[in-house]
């Protein structure tokens, strides 16, 4: 791994870890502060997640682009693969590994901060075709939003727009919008409000990958020459971070 990729992957690791820490930690806090009121717990969890995601995009975006999501990284690679823009194949592999590892680390960190067992497999099943459809919708919408912002030169709004979308999708999808394979894996490591049983993870991840494919089809139909935006997903990294070693 090159020094440049290592630096960018470390940012993806840290950003994804802190995102999952925010999701899990705010879920634990919500369950403790608002026992018996699931609606209020979800509202508290959604607000904290949306704000944290927006802040993390601002923090790690200048280093890695703040993908924080293997589907976003895969679509970025796909869009730019022929034009030499966006992620390379090795970049994609490095990002995906860092994102999944970061998500697991983030769940462990949240567990420890709240005096729980570092690893406790989630016991909350999330099954059913309606939830899988919701993950397709949530993931497709997220990816199209990100590419639309990049393609139209509005990446300055990405932190607010992406945070707002995820916060809203907590409520308009029946799955509460995981929309991220790495985050899904990480949330299997915590038996708390935000957890997902390991047996439910493959279905969610498969649905998220389908959502990515739906997004690619929509992008091809709606945004001519999307490869021109691949270097700016989610936000454009600083020039020195994208230079080839």
Number of folded domains in the chain? 1
pTM: 0.95
Q: What residues contact residue 240 under an 8 Å CB cut-off, 6+ apart?
A: none
Which CATH number covers residue 204?
1.20.1080.10
Tell me how far the alpha carbon of residue 43 is from its chain's centroid: 19
Range of the domain at 73: 3-227
Distance CA 124, CA 149 (A): 35
Q: For residues 56-72, give the mean pLDDT.
A: 98
The verdict on residue 164 lying in a domain is: yes
Contact status, residue 167 vs residue 47, Cβ threshold 8 Å: yes
* % of the chain exceeding 70 in pLDDT: 97
Instruction: Find out whether 193 and 45 touch, Cβ atoms under 8 Å.
Output: yes
Position 22 in a domain: yes
Domain annotation covers residue 232: no
Peptide bond into 214 cis (omega under 30): no
pLDDT given at position 242: 53
Q: What is the mean pLDDT of residues 26-39?
A: 97
**18 in any annotated domain:** yes
Is 203 a domain residue? Answer: yes
Q: Is 202 part of any domain?
A: yes
d(CA 152, CA 61): 18
CA distance 82 to 237: 20
Is residue 233, in this structure, part of any structural domain at all? no
């Amino acid at each position: 791994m090159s020094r440049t990729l290592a630096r960018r992957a470390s940012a993806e690791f840290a950003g994804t870890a802190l995102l999952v820490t925010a999701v899990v930690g705010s879920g634990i806090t919500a369950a403790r502060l608002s026992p018996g009121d699931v609606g209020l717990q979800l509202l508290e969890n959604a607000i904290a997640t949306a704000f944290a995601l927006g802040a993390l995009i601002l923090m790690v975006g200048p280093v890695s682009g703040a993908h924080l999501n293997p589907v976003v990284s895969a679509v970025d690679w796909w869009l730019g693969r022929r034009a030499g823009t966006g992620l390379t194949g090795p970049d994609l592999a490095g990002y995906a590994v860092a994102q999944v590892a970061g998500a697991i680390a983030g769940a462990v960190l949240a567990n420890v901060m709240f005096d729980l067992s570092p690893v406790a497999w989630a016991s909350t099943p999330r099954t059913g075709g309606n939830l899988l459809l919701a993950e397709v919708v949530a993931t497709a919408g997220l990816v199209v939003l990100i590419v639309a912002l990049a393609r139209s030169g509005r990446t300055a709004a990405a932190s607010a727009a992406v945070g707002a979308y995820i916060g809203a999708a907590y409520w308009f999808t029946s799955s509460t919008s995981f929309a991220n394979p790495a985050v899904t894996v990480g949330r299997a490591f915590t038996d708390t409000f935000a957890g997902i049983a390991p047996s439910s993870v493959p279905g969610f991840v498969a649905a998220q990958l389908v959502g990515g494919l739906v997004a690619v089809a929509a992008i091809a139909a709606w945004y001519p020459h999307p490869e021109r935006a691949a270097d700016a997903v989610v936000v454009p990294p600083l020039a020195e971070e994208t230079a080839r070693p």
